[in-house]
Amino acid sequence: MSIAVVVKKDSKVVIGADTLQCFDSNTTGIDNLYESKLRRIGSAVVAGAGWGLYDNILDDYLKEKKSVRLTTKQQIFLFFKKLWPVLHEKYSFVKNQSDDSDSPFGELDSSFLIATKKRIFFVSSNMCVTEFQKFYAIGAGRDYAIGAMHVLYDQEKSADEIARLAIEAAISNNVYCGGNIEIMKP
């Protein structure tokens, strides 16, 4: 479980996340495990919420790529479109998730935030790519973080401050958010 946020304000974009790792209903202390939920892919920074195994899969998948560009909606969609068949061919333990039998679409069962120097994107679990203009959040504490960012955005606070306070709100109110707070700039 996670909280990850992205904020764009005054021409500055930041992305942040907590560092809590859950193993079913168990966690470990922050002094015993450090796993960043933020990763640089090309010039972008990506945060994921959902299955932690995606971190391993992305690391493995990306080691074979010379360069990856995730700066436009189309580039991001094509990245996930190319990843989808690889998930099933190379990583045979990945199954086609979908809780909705009426849905014609596969399911990643994870979602992602992508921050570039000027833009912010959300990739839903069905691989729909959406661009946001101000902020967004994913993960178990998403509702708390989005509420906090909504209230804080028009105040005299920087993108960094808004992101940090939104993550703190999620950590304070959701048992599946915690650990340290990381903030990165693309």
pLDDT class of 105 with cuts at 50, 70, 90 = low
Q: Say yes or no to pLDDT of 101 above 80.
A: no
The CATH number for 11's domain is 3.60.20.10
Residue-wise pLDDT for 37-93, tens only, equals 999 999 999 999 987 778 888 888 888 888 899 999 999 999 999 988 888 788 766
Which range of residues forms the domain containing residue 174?
Answer: 3-97+105-184
Number of domains in the chain: 1
pTM for the predicted model, two decimal places: 0.89
Query: For position 64, what pLDDT does the model report?
Result: 81
Residues contacting 2, CB < 8 A, separation 6+: 17, 18, 20, 37, 47, 48, 49, 50, 138, 139, 140, 141, 176, 177
